[in-house]
Structure 1
Amino acid sequence: MTDSTFEAIGAGSIAAHSIGTAITGPVTVLPAELLNSARDVQAPAGLTNLPPLPLCFGRTSELGSLHGTLGQSTAGTAVVQGLGGVGKSTLALAYAHGHRSDYNVTWWIAAASPVHIEQSLADLALRLIPVWAGSASTEERVAWAMLWLQWHPGWLLIFDNVEDSADLQPYVSTSSVLSR
């Protein structure tokens, strides 16, 4: 290696010859046994928190399009967007109810704000590992739920009522997500 000097300029700047680990935001630390439990805990068959399905007529084409996107083994993200009141939530809910058997977990996330998203994910942890999650902080439960999602394929998250798409950034990189 050379004897180079580095200069960091500005708030939050980093200068180094090499960096093994860089943490740039808040961190939630979970004990090793919880890290392992995220891998080992299996969801009960058909785990869901879906609201009841309202009447949904005539959306066959849109439902088929969603299934074409999300029904593939390499599915990622589908976005349902439009003006308020046109039935985006109903469409997402109809898809989720119609394809519940395709997923190990189908989870409805109230996504009007980051706090709502975190609470919905914390509720997922509470359903999957209630003994621990009942006394854990929201941040710990969210971290555990995200780790669980990374370990387990075959789930569907529906982010409903997203006001700011930037709120989804920490959550949409892992598997099937349906948002509106």
Structure 2
Amino acid sequence: MIPHGVKVSIAEHSQDSQTILFFGRTDGYKGLDTLLVAMEAVWDFEPRARLQILASGGGGGYQVSDNRVSATWDGFSGKELEAALSAARAICLPYTTVSGSGVGAQAYGSGKPILASNLEGLRELVSHEELLVKPGDAADLARAIRLVLSRDYPVRPIDPDRTWPGVARALESAYADVARSTKRRPH
């Protein structure tokens, strides 16, 4: 399997940050509703925790009135995302289903800790097993968020095979294999 390519842009390490970042679309399968419920439990543990939402495609009916949530619903620029990645303690991918994630690839490329649902396509982005959560389980997500806020997870090294040049090499190799097998077949 050839992974989604990653642009490596290691974000500053933010050990003092108490901000969890969610970015991308807000479709139901993205689990934003689960994250918002989980944050209520997190705030009981760590009232200084913050949630930053950078959403594209509108808020999908989410009503957020807590001043510990910063939400942009109608899109964001690359510079805004870079700033949010630098300011975040961790990135949250609380999906309920997934087949691949461009957001996950961007999160991985930042080197920041990722908390994510224990789903194929996300598992390999998470560097610490205790940051994997049951899909749709707000209590388990709150547990993982509390962990990431209370521990210092180092910047993750990026697997070179997941970078765009690594993906290009894998594709070249796959196409070369197909071309060789095609040449050997009589027509």
TM-score (norm 2): 0.28
Higher gyration radius (CA): 1
